[in-house]
């Protein structure tokens, strides 16, 4: 599952503690990482070392170093990645529910499933009678009472509280939007089965480039050389474009052209 595993220990009759097993990378960061992998490989299988390199980690001949392993293991713990054979992983269907939700309610439901997937997090939630927002000190006190390894209790509690807070923020945004999904009603991109693929001739593509004033100009290229540019057409695609906000922000700041 993940992250830090400390075996119960005794020293000269000292008290033995339970292992603290938790995702030692934040949920939000894990989702961002899953988005990067999915954008290149969809749900196709890829080697762990390839995924680590894609996320910016240095991979030596001996394999992955500790930070890369910790990150991938945390993503597996949350259910964003799954094993796909020896040394390989793939993005899960549940991850795609978060990345390309049919509605904001679906995204929140999928996030909730991810947050409480790690057994330690599910146990903490159950201890507090289903209350999802609990002060960090309350979580620390509970884990100490349950005889978990004191050296790692505070870190585990912090990551738990951060994950729940992220869920709460996303739920609040969904509520403010009146049920309009963060990802809108846009369908996920076509499944890829053999790694990165070039768009087919019949696919719609979005071209984003900087215009005067720093605002992005968006051209939607359709099959048969059809091109639509205009506020009315773009207004109908707001939900789709929300999924590409990171690209739009990059255009605003750098004035570079990206094929989305």
- The answer on 168 and 71 residing in a single domain is yes
Whole-Å CA distances, 12 to 15, 147, 149, 251: 9, 18, 17, 62
Residue 21 lies inside a defined structural domain of this protein: no
Please, what are the averages of pLDDT over each run of 10 residues along the chain (260 residues)?
Answer: 45 73 94 97 94 91 85 96 92 96 93 95 90 87 94 95 93 69 44 44 43 45 44 46 48 41
Pair 141, 67 in one domain: yes
User: Is residue 184 in some structural domain?
Assistant: no
Q: What is the domain count for the chain?
A: 2
Residue 159 lies in a domain: yes
DSSP β-bridge partners for residue 209: 217
- Count the residues in the chain: 260
Q: Is residue 198 part of a domain?
A: no
> 129: domain range?
27-176
Long-range pairs for 61-70 at CB < 8 Å and ≥24 separation?
Answer: 70/2, 70/3, 70/24, 70/25
* Backbone region of residue 228 per phi and psi (left: phi > 0; alpha: psi in -120 to 50; beta: other values): beta
């Amino acid at each position: 599952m993940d992250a830090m595993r400390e075996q119960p220990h005794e020293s000269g009759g000292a008290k033995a503690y339970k292992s603290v097993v938790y995702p030692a990378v934040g949920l939000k960061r894990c989702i961002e990482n899953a988005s990067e992998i999915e954008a290149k490989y969809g749900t196709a299988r890829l080697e762990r070392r390839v995924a680590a390199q894609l996320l910016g980690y240095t991979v030596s001949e001996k394999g992955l170093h500790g930070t890369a392993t910790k990150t991938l293991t945390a993503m597996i713990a949350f259910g964003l990645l799954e094993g796909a054979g020896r040394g390989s992983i793939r993005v899960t269907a549940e991850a795609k529910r978060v990345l390309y939700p049919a509605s904001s309610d679906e995204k929140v439901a999928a996030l909730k499933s991810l947050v409480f997937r790690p057994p330690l997090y599910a146990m903490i939630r159950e201890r507090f009678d289903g209350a999802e927002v609990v002060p960090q000190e309350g979580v620390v006190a509970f884990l100490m009472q349950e005889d978990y390894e004191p050296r790692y209790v505070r870190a585990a509690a912090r990551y738990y509280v951060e994950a729940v807070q992220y869920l709460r923020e996303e739920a609040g945004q969904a509520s403010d939007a009146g049920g309009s999904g963060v990802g809108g009603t846009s369908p996920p991109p076509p499944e890829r089965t053999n790694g990165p693929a070039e768009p087919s001739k019949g696919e719609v593509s979005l071209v984003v480039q900087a215009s005067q004033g720093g605002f992005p100009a968006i051209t939607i290229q359709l099959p048969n050389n059809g091109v639509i540019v205009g506020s009315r057409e773009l207004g109908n695609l707001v939900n789709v474009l929300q999924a590409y906000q990171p690209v739009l922000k990059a255009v605003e700041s750098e004035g570079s052209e990206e094929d989305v």
